[in-house]
Amino acid sequence: MSRSAHPAGPRHADVMTEGHYSAPAADLNVLDEKVWARTVTRDADGALTVGGIAVARLAEEFGTPAYFLDESDFRARCRAWADAFGPDADVFYAGKAFLSRAVVRWLQEEGLNLDVCSGGELTTALDAGMPAERIAFHGNNKTVAEIERAVEVGVGRIVLDSFQEIVRVAHIARSHGVRQRVQIRVTVGVEAHTHEFIATAHEDQKFGIALADGQAAEAVRRTLALDSLELIGIHSHIGSQIFDMAGFEVSARRVVQLLAEVRDEHGVELPEIDLGGGLGIAYTSEDDPREPHDIAKALSDIVTRECESAKLRTPRISVEPGRAIVGPTAFTLYEVGTIKPLEGLRTYVSVDGGMSDNIRTALYDAEYSVALVSRTSEAEPMLVRVVGKHCESGDIVVKDAFLPADLAPGDLIAVPATGAYCRSMASNYNHALRPPVVAVRDGEARVIVRRETEEDLLRLDVG
Ligand code: LLP
């Protein structure tokens, strides 16, 4: 969800007033580097290139729709997070944003750890060689089979999400004769300023154990009493696409308070805290994300300060960015099909994908940018809505944007910042074939997740 995503927001109001709109400020041919992957630029002919390869060539070789991921940008973001947090902290990439074997290998090479939240993600991670001790296992309803697998392979930590799970994990660890390292996920009671469906630290939701009314303290009590569990710390994740550090500060403060209470009651100083993910990225020019360095400094300052005042040793901090690493590194390339001008309203531009490759607009009212990328154009800007090919009027990819008025069928347009939660939330609605993810680096492009085929669809249909 972009900060500018709300229909009542200023950008929307400026754009749409009873069918009249103000012209966009920027030259449509200029790519705002905030929303595009780092190696994206236009070549001498005006075509967009990524990793040195022009989109026309990419479209020809890999087809559309397709996600193109700038591998060197991904790696640079991993390094920026690792460097910002330094050797006394751990960065766990949140695999739910986008996970594939290639991604797991890049993470290992760049020194990151991995947060998984399902058996499928765990399998992908292990298959690509991620050492189990560098994996954190999450989820509000891990199945017994998933917990057994996680314990068997020796994941570095299981993040306990409920009272029942404390008992479940303890029992499984005992039956495997191991002492499982665990954290307890607490809900700190912070209302993150984001869409309701992606805010996770207020109390009325399904994740974690509330700090309020002593629930989390009770969870610590029960966990410490079980020999087969080694409680290494407290976990908090307050939501997603957050720009304001205030929520993280409150969260860190409350988690440190719990550590102090645990020390007072049990004489134990828990060695770690995990502050989750959720840092926002730029989907449009109006979003201003923070740099990892600023984030790391803000978080470690607050934890250090709170620990000093509680006379606690500063715990090791971990964080779990997903979107902030992979989100900006990819764009979705579409071919323009039908163009339908609606007099006095806007022009509907239909592309060869839609809500099956990007559900975020329909689900969260998310806002995206779009650009004509197969060429430049000096034509006037026209107000468009980019829509997909699905049988549903909510099948919107970009709600309000400007594209040149000479846009024509066959042009290529691209939606930036689709690296996170687009391929990972893609569906086969209308029996759409999920698009490939193509990694581009230094003049080379290779498929890391292939396009689905009609045979893939039929293979599952065994009736
Ligand atoms: N850690 C935990 C425990 C999480 O639940 C999540 C995201 C993350 C880390 C990573 O959050 P990130 O840095 O990527 O924001 N589908 C939604 C986002 C759901 C996020 C769920 N949990 C979207 O498309 O916006």
Which spans in 176-291 are helix H? 215-224, 246-266
Ligand 1 geometric centre to CA of 320 (Å): 9
Q: Is 421 in the pocket of ligand 1 (CB under 6 A)?
A: yes
CA distances from 47 to 178, 369, 377, 404 (A): 57, 17, 11, 15
What's the chain's Rg over C-alpha atoms? 23
Residues contacting 120, CB < 8 A, separation 6+: none
Mean pLDDT, rounded, for 327-345: 97
Q: Which atom of ligand 1 is nearest to the CA of 185?
A: 3
- Cα(189)–Cα(211) distance, rounded to whole angstroms? 8
CA-nearest residue for atom 23, ligand 1, is: 421
> 207 with 200: CB under 8 angstroms?
yes
Q: How far apart are the first and last CA of the chain?
A: 39
Lowest mean pLDDT among 183-192, 227-236, 444-453: 183-192
Ligand 1 geometric centre to CA of 98 (Å): 11
3-state SS class at 384: strand
Whether 178 shows a pLDDT value over 50: the answer reads yes
Report the sign of the C-alpha dihedral through residues 390, 391, 394, 398, in that order.
positive
CATH number of 138-321: 3.20.20.10
Q: Is 276 in the pocket of ligand 1 (CB under 6 A)?
A: yes
Q: Is 323 in the pocket of ligand 1 (CB under 6 A)?
A: yes
> 219 with 209: CB under 8 angstroms?
yes
Given the residues 78, 117, 307, 391, the one annotated as active site = 391
- 93 strand-pairing partners: 114
Which pLDDT score is estimated for 193? 61
Q: Is 214 exposed, middle or buried (0-12, 13-18, 19+ CB in 10 A)?
A: exposed
**391 is known as an active-site residue:** yes
Average of per-residue pLDDT values in the chain: 93
Q: Which atom of ligand 1 is nearest to the CA of 280?
A: 15
Whether 287 shows a pLDDT value over 70: the answer reads yes
**How many Cα atoms occupy the beta-carbon half-sphere of 210 within 13 Å?**
10
Q: Is 328 in the pocket of ligand 1 (CB under 6 A)?
A: no
Q: Is 139 in the pocket of ligand 1 (CB under 6 A)?
A: no
Residue whose token pair is 């947060």: 115
Tens digit of pLDDT for each residue in 216-235? 999 999 999 999 999 999 99
Cβ count near 357 (within 10 Å):
27
Q: Is 274 in the pocket of ligand 1 (CB under 6 A)?
A: no
- Cα(149)–Cα(231) distance, rounded to whole angstroms? 19
Which pLDDT score is estimated for 10? 34
Q: Which atom of ligand 1 is nearest to the CA of 195?
A: 25
Whether 368 shows a pLDDT value over 80: the answer reads yes
Residue whose token pair is 């991670």: 125
CA-nearest residue for atom 9, ligand 1, is: 277
User: Beta 48-50 vs 53-54: how paired, if at all?
Assistant: antiparallel
Residues contacting 386, CB < 8 A, separation 6+: 334, 349, 351, 370, 396, 397, 398, 401, 413, 415
Which pLDDT score is estimated for 302? 93
Among 96, 113, 114, 244, residue to substitute to test ligand 1 (most atoms within 8 Å of Cβ):
96
Tens digit of pLDDT for each residue in 241-250? 999 898 998 9
Tens digit of pLDDT for each residue in 68-115? 999 999 999 999 999 999 999 999 999 999 999 999 999 999 999 999
Stated pTM of the model: 0.94
- Cα(20)–Cα(190) distance, rounded to whole angstroms? 39
CA-nearest residue for atom 24, ligand 1, is: 421
> 415 with 332: CB under 8 angstroms?
yes
**Closest among 394, 391, 412, 395 to 403, alpha carbons compared:** 412
Q: Is 435 in the pocket of ligand 1 (CB under 6 A)?
A: no
Provide the pLDDT confidence category of residue 17 given band limits of 50, 70 and 90. Answer: very low
Whether 20 shows a pLDDT value over 70: the answer reads no
CA angle 39, 41, 47 (to 5 degrees): 130
Residues contacting 216, CB < 8 A, separation 6+: 184, 186, 209, 210, 234, 258
- Cα(274)–Cα(325) distance, rounded to whole angstroms? 17
Which pLDDT score is estimated for 205? 81
Ligand 1 geometric centre to CA of 240 (Å): 5
Q: Is 324 in the pocket of ligand 1 (CB under 6 A)?
A: yes
- Cα(159)–Cα(339) distance, rounded to whole angstroms? 49
Tens digit of pLDDT for each residue in 108-118? 999 999 999 99
In the chain, what are the domain boundaries?
3-70+328-458, 138-321
47-50, Cβ contacts within 8 angstroms, sequence gap of 24 or more: 47/373, 47/374, 47/375, 48/371, 48/373, 48/374, 48/414, 50/331, 50/440
Q: Is the peptide bond before 416 cis (omega within 30 degrees of 0)?
A: no
Ligand 1 geometric centre to CA of 291 (Å): 18
Q: Which two tokens stand for residue 65?
A: 């729709």
* CATH class for the region spanning 3-70+328-458: mainly beta
Q: Which atom of ligand 1 is nearest to the CA of 327?
A: 14
Residue whose token pair is 């103000």: 22
Hey, what amino acid is at 416? P
Lowest mean pLDDT among 203-212, 391-400, 418-427: 203-212
Mean pLDDT, rounded, for 242-268: 95
> 193 with 172: CB under 8 angstroms?
no
- Cα(277)–Cα(93) distance, rounded to whole angstroms? 9
Could you tell me what percent of the chain has a pLDDT over 90? 89
Could you tell me what percent of the chain has a pLDDT over 70? 92
Ligand 1 geometric centre to CA of 94 (Å): 7
Provide the pLDDT confidence category of residue 204 given band limits of 50, 70 and 90. Answer: confident
CA-nearest residue for atom 15, ligand 1, is: 278
